[in-house]
Amino acid sequence: MAETYNKEETKELARRYKDMLKGSYQELSSDDKKLIRKAFDLAVEAHKDQRRKSGEPYVYHPIAVAKIVANDIGLGTTSIIAALLHDVVEDTEYSLEYIEKEFGKKVAVIVDGLTKISGLNRETTSIQAENYRKMLLTLNDDVRVILIKIADRYHNMKTLEFMPIEKQARIASETLYIYAPLAHRLGLYSIKTDLEDLGLKYTEPEIYNDILDKINESKEERDQYIAEFSKIIEKSLLEEGMEFEIKGRPKSIFSIRRKMMAQGVEFDEVYDKFAIRIIYKPKSKDERHDAWKIYSIVTDHFTPNPIRLRDWMTQPKSTGYEALHTTVMGPKGQWVEVQIRSERMNEIAEKGYAAHYKYKNTEEKESSIETWLNRLKDVLENTDANATDFVENVKLNLYSKEIYTFTPNGQIKNLPKGSTPIDFAFAVHTEVGYHCRGAKVNGKLVPLSKELNSGDQVEIITSPNQKPKLQWLDYAVTSRARTKIKNSLKEDEKKMGEEGREILQRKLKSIKVTFSEKTVNDLVNFFKLKTSLDLFFRVGNGTITNQELKDFAAQQSGALMSLLKGKIRKKSTTPIVIEDEITSSKYDLLVFGKDEERLKYTMSKCCNAIPGDKVFGFLTINEGIKVHREDCPNAIDMRAKYGYRIMKAKWIDSSQREFSVNIKLAGIDNVGIVNSVTLLISNSMHVNIQRINIDTEDGYFEGHIRVSVKNNEQLNILVKNLKKIDGVMVVERDG
């Protein structure tokens, strides 16, 4: 052992090593133990000259991480070795090639992934987003990278008190932003709970300590209450021959704080501050039968709250979590949450991914945790997205609660809470999503923006002519749907740009302007666009009008006349350069909230957002809405501390903003008049119909149509074309 450790530290290293192995979840062979010892000796040697902020030998940290990996997460030999060596390549002279040579390819891949993630902490821009993205990219290599990184952060949070105060809040905020939801999604509930509590401890210390003090003050009373509650049901459980253990615990400080905020109440008013957990050994082959038997015994003694029953056994969470939860009215009129789990269910709840894999039968269908990992890989395919987009896409699935929906033939589709038929369509199949024209929920037609609920049976109506629309992004929730829609819109924009180029050539010819590369560049500058594709696209969809092209021609003609006059007068031999202001982005309008409202705001000076940046609004107390970039240095802190004051915001292209208009139609009721009207609007004009109502009586019809148009010229063209339909006598704007 290295000479830089004193006698006491040498003894402590030996003790910690034995402690790490003693509680290992997996069975370790003698060969496994030899490899782990070899890795332990290398870590001790490699880190011999390093100390932590606390003054302890640095090697205590990788040993602690390995213990969390072995005991709390329940991983095996490869992960334990990688945890022991996770900082060796980054912080010492040992190379990745050496690690691979001594411990094999798998260990090297994991250590490499962990080294890359740690290296991002030296970056200065959007650390949390890049950190998150890098971790998720490692899913393509080995999910154990993330599990060990969570263990690494877990131990760092336990020793955060030794870090400088200014770093504590940043690290704690990042933990709440990234690591806690990841731990939750991978089923590591115990670690997730501790990470949330530790995160709150350093982001809102006063609140944390206040709740902790109140929990400690009531400990004796709580323990007595739990004993009284348990005694009542223990007798009945024993009479049924059940083998069980009853545990009582307070709810986490973070969850109590969340309830206080959500319900607008004080600590004393939170009605279920602790839970009872009944862990049983199954009597029969059917674990669920035993769980419901225990539920029946509990509810024989205590009245259940009917809206607080959660059956995670029949349909486990996508993390693999299984249990039966209920809330009952206990002694002295107090609500108590009761969690019923078999030993197997409890093991999966505590160990997460590792235990789920242990109990998985090789002949079973793909496990739900693996399904989730595959969904993440779908997001990874969208390589064009920047780090912040990537994070927001993935976090949609991480943070949201789940709903369970059904296809017409009864197949279950797990979706995040808040999902719509668009999300459901893409969950069924990409092509179903692309061609989604409408949806029926429980047999009734609904808007594509309708929020789905658990138990809904959803039928997607498709059409081969249907394509994704820009407005779908306003109500698509899942990252899969949003990514596919964006990719499709890019393709459509490209095709319309090709059509727009031909249209522009014809229009310029009609106003006697030569179509050339110079003319295109001048037009891009005139309309303050970014690229020629933006120009062609706007011509193709009718956003750029004939009058605007004539205005361009007039300006060019006026500039040329000024140039000629200048030359005739010979006042200057310096060439005249006509300059137009060019904006850095085609996004020129900032809107807020789901309804994209135009509100008053000011730009925050801490990050200086500009049009086109990914931004959010922050509702201040005295200065109204302040706009920050998503990767603002203060973003983590604001999201962690004041999430309820964050407003969704985005820059949009005002030229593509659509406006709703009501049109009144009247005329002679010819056969097929409705079909003629809708075909012209949807297919010929490519205008979206929001609502249509046509009544006929004695050969006369009158109709009211609500459509979305981009500008007044497009509306005028639509009205003009509707008047050409045989039988239509009146077309006018309605209201």
Residue 509 makes CB contacts below 8 A (sequence gap 6+) with 515
Packing angle of the helix pair 7-22, 60-67 (nearest 10 deg): 10
Q: Assess whether 24 and 148 both reside in one domain.
A: yes
For every residue of 397-427, DSSP letters joined together read HHHS-EEEEE-TT--EEEEETT--HHHHHHH
- State the pLDDT at residue 125: 37
Q: Please, is 402 exposed, middle or buried when counting C-beta atoms within 10 Å of its C-beta (0-12, 13-18, 19+)?
A: middle
> Which of 651, 685, 700 is the endpoint of a domain?
651
In a domain, 135, yes or no: yes
pLDDT at 97: 92
Q: Quick check: helix, strand or coil at residue 315?
A: coil
pLDDT per residue as tens digits for the range 590-649: 888 876 777 889 999 888 888 878 899 998 888 889 999 888 878 877 877 777 788 889
The burial class, CB within 10 Å (0-12 / 13-18 / 19+), for 320 is buried
Choice between 141 and 467, residue whose per-residue pLDDT is larger = 467
Total number of domains in the chain:
5
**Long-range Cβ pairs for the range 196-199 (8 Å, 24+):** 196/252, 196/254, 196/255, 197/252, 197/253, 197/254, 198/157, 198/158, 198/160, 198/172, 199/157, 199/172, 199/173, 199/175, 199/254, 199/640
Q: Name the active-site residue from 12, 41, 45, 91.
A: 91
Looking at 569, 597, 623, which one is the last position of a domain? Answer: 569
Q: Which domain holds residue 595?
A: 589-651
Q: Are 667 and 644 found together in one domain?
A: no
219 inside domain: yes
Burial class (CB in 10 A: 0-12, 13-18, 19+), 422: buried
583 has a pLDDT exceeding 50:
no
- Return the CATH number at 323: 3.30.460.10
**86 and 217 share one domain:** no
Q: Looking at residue 470, what is its pLDDT?
A: 76
Comparison of pLDDT for 161 and 361, the residue scoring more? 161
Buried b (16+ CB within 10 A) or exposed e, 139-161: beebbbbbbbbbbbbbbbbeebe
Whole-number Cα distances in Å, 168 to 51, 158, 197, 202: 19, 11, 14, 6
- 158 and 120 part of one domain: yes
Could you tell me the two tokens for 179? Answer: 């690591």
Give the pLDDT of residue 354. 65
User: Which tens digit of pLDDT belongs to each residue from 80-103?
Assistant: 999 999 989 888 888 889 999 999
Give the residue-averaged pLDDT of 506-519: 85
Establish whether 698 is a catalytic residue.
no
**Residue 114 pLDDT > 60, yes or no?**
yes
| CB-CB contact of 333 with 168 (8 Å) | no
Please indicate whether residue 551 is annotated as part of the active site.
no
pLDDT of residue 685: 62
**What's the CA gap between 378 and 102, in Å, rounded?**
35
Residues written for the chain: 735
| pLDDT for the residue numbered 298 | 93
For residue 175, the 8-state DSSP code is I
Q: Which of 35-39, 588-592, 655-659 has the lowest mean pLDDT?
A: 655-659
Residue 683's pLDDT is: 61
Q: Within this chain, do residues 158 and 125 fall inside the same structural domain, yes or no? A: yes
pLDDT band at 730 (very low <50, low <70, confident <90, very high): confident
Answer yes or no: is 335 within a domain: yes
Alpha carbons 369 and 397: distance in angstroms, whole number: 13
Please report whether residue 2 resides in a domain.
Answer: no
12, 41, 90, 451: which is the annotated catalytic residue? 90
Please report whether residue 714 resides in a domain.
yes
CA distances from 464 to 114, 190, 257, 422, 468 (A): 46, 49, 50, 16, 12
Parallel/antiparallel/unpaired status of strands 335-342 and 274-281: parallel
Q: In this structure, which amino acid lies at residue 82?
A: A
Write the DSSP string, 257-274.
Answer: HHHHHHHT--GGG-S--E
Q: What is the mean pLDDT of residues 559-571?
A: 50
